[in-house]
Amino acid sequence: MSSARQRNGRATRRAARFVLGREHRCHRKARTEYIKIEKTKAIADAQALLRLAILVSDRSFVPTPRALGPQSPEEAMRVGGQAAAIVIAGSAVATILFFGSFKDSNAQSNARYLPQYAADGQLLLPKDFHEWVYVGSPLTPNALNGGQANFPEFHNVYIEPGSYAIYKKTGEFPEGTIFFKELQLTLPQENADGSRTEASGRGYFPGKWNGADVTVKDSKRFADTNGWGYFNFNHHEPKASMAKVKSKDECAYCHIANAKKDEVWTQFYPLLDNKDAR
For 217-260, how does the pLDDT look when each residue is reduced to its tens digit (9 = 90+)?
999 999 999 999 999 999 999 999 999 999 999 999 999 999 99
In a domain, 117, yes or no: no
Rg of the chain (C-alpha set): 34
Same domain, 70 and 130: no
Same domain, 230 and 259: yes
20 band by pLDDT with thresholds 50, 70 and 90 = very low
- Dihedrals φ, ψ of 67, to 5°? -65, -40
Segment among 91-105, 117-131, 171-185 with least mean pLDDT: 91-105
Same domain, 212 and 260: yes
In a domain, 116, yes or no: no
Same domain, 174 and 273: yes
Q: What DSSP string describes 77-137? A: HHHHHHHHHHHHHHHHHHHHHHHHHHHHHHHHHT------B-TTSPEEPPSSGGGSEEEE-
Amino acid at 36: K
Name the DSSP letter for residue 167.
Answer: H
pLDDT above 90 covers what percent of the chain?
58
Q: Which of 76, 109, 142 is the last residue of a domain?
A: 109
Could you give the number of structural domains in the chain? 2
Residue 226 pLDDT? 96
Same domain, 61 and 163: no
Mean pLDDT on 210-216: 98
Spell out the residues 6+ positions from residue 12 whose beta carbon is closer than 8 angstroms to its own.
65, 70, 76, 80
For 159-194, how does the pLDDT look when each residue is reduced to its tens digit (9 = 90+)?
999 999 999 999 999 999 999 999 999 999 999 999
Same domain, 53 and 136: no
Residue 131, preceding bond cis, omega within 30 degrees? no
For 142-153, how does the pLDDT look when each residue is reduced to its tens digit (9 = 90+)?
999 999 999 999
Residue 274 pLDDT? 78
The terminus-to-terminus CA distance of the chain in angstroms comes to 74
Same domain, 135 and 84: no
More confident residue, 94 or 159: 159
Same domain, 131 and 176: yes
In a domain, 153, yes or no: yes
More confident residue, 126 or 84: 126
In a domain, 115, yes or no: no
Same domain, 101 and 134: no
Same domain, 48 and 149: no
Q: Which of 75, 109, 143 is the last residue of a domain?
A: 109
In a domain, 235, yes or no: yes
Segment among 5-9, 68-72, 122-126, 198-202 with least mean pLDDT: 68-72
Full residue range of the structural domain in which residue 56 is found: 2-109
Residue 10 pLDDT? 67
Tell me the CATH number at 200: 3.50.70.20
More confident residue, 23 or 47: 47
Mean pLDDT on 3-24: 57
Note if the pTM is more than 0.85: no
Same domain, 246 and 129: yes
Q: Which of 48, 75, 109 is the last residue of a domain?
A: 109
Same domain, 93 and 160: no
In a domain, 160, yes or no: yes
Averaged pLDDT score across all residues of the chain: 79
